[in-house]
Amino acid sequence: MKNKKTLILLICLFLVSVITFYRLLRPGYFSMMDDMHVFRLDQLDICLKDGQFPCRFIKDGGMGYGHPLFNYYSPLAYGVAEFFHLCGFSLINSLKITFASCHLIGVFGMFFFASLFWGNLGAFVSAIIFLLAPYQATDSFVRGAISESLAINIIPWIFYFLTKFINQQKNKKWKLKIGNWGLIISLTAILLSHNLISLAIAPILVVYSLFLLIKNKNLNLKSILNLLFPVLISVGISAFFLLPALFEKNLVTIDTMTQGYFNYIIHFATLFQLFISRFWGFGASLWGPIDDMAFSIGLVQWLIPLITVLFLFFKKILKKKVLLVKGGCPDLSGQVGLILLFFFFFLFSIFLTHNKSTFIWKLFPFMSFYQFPWRFLSISIFTSSFIAGSLISFINKKYQILIVVVISLLTIILNFSYFKEDIWFSNLTDVQKLSSTEIVKQSGAGLKDYWPKYGQSFPTTFAPTELTVSNDVVIKNYIKKSNKISFDFIANSNSKITVPLVYFPNWKLFVDDKITDFEISKDLGLIEFDVVPGNHSVLLKLTNTPIRTISNLISIISLALAIIVSIRLKFKNEK
């Protein structure tokens, strides 16, 4: 009977979640700020077909000169979309399915996590409030921030599997079974989804883990080491991306990501915008209190948690202890600390979006890479949604379903209208989105982020489709791929060939199968080399740097280690 009731609630959650993405089920595509996803997905597809795995350098990025995008930009969201594309969906439809999947991942993750503490009805409230938070709509339909949206909605799953893992240690039954694989997979997923969200949630995960270990009276070295295993395995599996992104950041421009419009100091939200405003726009975050996009936490998203905490203190002051309403959750008295802890996380994340927190931003210079302080709404909607579910535990059992229905309907009524696009292009296809004009537009977006530092300027026009040669040189069989360029040429005199390719370590030049030195042009940092008369063949090939090779090996070894340990523990536990 309990499983049947849970299934009914899960079906209801799915039906409600359709509100957030049903508009994506139509033919066509929608307008968004980060309108470069079709191009990036196409480039990832080209990468894989060229045999470049993991994909690091995209062929037509950087205005056609190439770009080391996926050496630095989290790849998972595009990897998910590529999976759907390989299943036969168009690029556009693959991206729309991925956007929709983010909401489904989040709503079910929040339900299962909250159900560990508040029961199914409380978990239902948490899931609905999390699903319909205005910032979820902002990420999908305004910003089009597909990577951040995926990362936000992975967070509840991490907390779910982490809780199961720690509670399992309490019962002295540690083993690498599906729940622990879930922790490894969810941690790996967020590490590969969004660098900044991963960094933001990390300290909360640490504090939460310590809280549970202390609560379970199991804070000891063995428990900590057991917990470190899936964490380190996840970092290890993600190493192919994390280590190059960290240790090769000096090879590309990153200072442009915190200058001008992207300086965090001009993007703080006001209290009115956060708590009261019902304004909704599809424009940008601007200087000052007047913006063309919304930074709302959501009325329900902050009112219900506040009511919960006030009720908690009200009961505590009057009765000197937390008294349970008849028929309420029998474990609530043990969860007071958890509610207050998450309420602190909620308040602190909101504080970071306001200009009064400037001293913290200055204290930790790396925070400037968040660019927009309102990104911390991703933490606030998660923490507030979790707290909200606990309110049901205070309610007399015979009124719980009614309260759940009221809160759910109120949340839907107040927020469903946010989940819509500004402009819908009903006839837009992959071919149109990858036209020459669109490729120029999308490949130039974010050009200054991660541009190789080997030239003195950025390209302002799209790269030529042919090689640039001096004197009398005839080029034949020119083929350009994401990880190699090949061609033959006939030179009647000493000449110079400039390849429309920006240098990034480790491109290597082979002329007539012999490795050959080349120069890097001072303006754009393009590869150029001198040639002598005669018939010659040329191959330019992208090879791994030592850090990339080591990172790839760490990922392979970590995955293999997790599988081996899993098999060994399985046999050990079966004895």
Cα separation, 487 vs 473, in Å, equals 12
Q: Which residues, at least 6 apart from 312, have a Cβ–Cβ distance to it below 8 Å?
A: 322, 336, 339, 340
Query: For position 206, what pLDDT does the model report?
Result: 97
Cα separation, 346 vs 348, in Å, equals 6
Phi first, then psi: give them for residue 151, nearest 5 degrees.
-65, -45
Query: For position 169, what pLDDT does the model report?
Result: 75
CA 240 to chain centre: 16
Query: For position 278, what pLDDT does the model report?
Result: 92
Angle 146-170/221-237 helices, nearest 10 degrees? 150
If one counts every other C-beta atom within 10 angstroms of the C-beta of residue 349, the result is 22
Cα separation, 529 vs 518, in Å, equals 5
Query: For position 299, what pLDDT does the model report?
Result: 96
Locus of tokens 């992975």: 154
Locus of tokens 């001072």: 522
If one counts every other C-beta atom within 10 angstroms of the C-beta of residue 306, the result is 15
Those residues of the chain that have pLDDT short of 70 are: 1-2, 170-179, 315-334, 569-575
At position 77, the amino acid (one-letter code) is: A
If one counts every other C-beta atom within 10 angstroms of the C-beta of residue 184, the result is 24
The β-bridge relationship of strands 495-502 and 507-511 is: unpaired
Cβ contact 297:271 at 8 Å: no
Instruction: Say which DSSP state 283 is in.
Output: S
Locus of tokens 């690091």: 56
Residues 127-157 as b/e (b if ≥16 CB within 10 A, e otherwise) read bbbbbbbbbbbbbbbbbbbbbbbbbbbbbbb
Q: Got the DSSP string for 309-332?
A: HHHHHHHHHHHSS-PPPTTS-TTG
Instruction: Say which DSSP state 268 is in.
Output: P
At position 169, the amino acid (one-letter code) is: Q
Cα separation, 373 vs 26, in Å, equals 34
Cα separation, 227 vs 174, in Å, equals 10
Q: Which domains does the chain have, with CATH numbers?
A: 2-30+72-422 (no CATH), 468-544 (2.60.40)
Query: For position 179, what pLDDT does the model report?
Result: 52
Query: For position 563, what pLDDT does the model report?
Result: 87
Q: Of 248, 239, 196, 190, whose CA–CA distance to 68 is shortest?
A: 248
Locus of tokens 């802890």: 341
pTM beyond 0.75 = yes
| 3 state SS for 376-435 | HHHHHHHHHHHHHHHHHHHCCHHHHHHHHHHHHHHHHHHHHHHCCCCCEECCCCHHHHCC
Q: Of 309, 272, 279, 293, whose CA–CA distance to 384 is shortest?
A: 309
Phi first, then psi: give them for residue 442, nearest 5 degrees.
-75, -35
Instruction: Say which DSSP state 259 is in.
Output: S
Q: What are the Cα distances from residue 186, in Å, to 84, 112, 158, 191, 558?
A: 20, 14, 5, 9, 15
Percentages of the chain per state (helix, strand, coil), in multiples of 5: 60, 10, 30
If one counts every other C-beta atom within 10 angstroms of the C-beta of residue 297, the result is 25
Query: For position 348, what pLDDT does the model report?
Result: 97
Cβ contact 273:291 at 8 Å: yes
Cα separation, 155 vs 152, in Å, equals 6
Q: Of 208, 129, 212, 161, whose CA–CA distance to 409 is shortest?
A: 129
| Radius of gyration for the alpha carbons in the chain, expressed in angstroms and rounded | 26
Query: For position 173, what pLDDT does the model report?
Result: 52
Instruction: Say which DSSP state 24 is in.
Output: G
Angle 91-131/2-21 helices, nearest 10 degrees? 120
Supply angle C-alpha 544, 548, 559, rounded to 5: 125
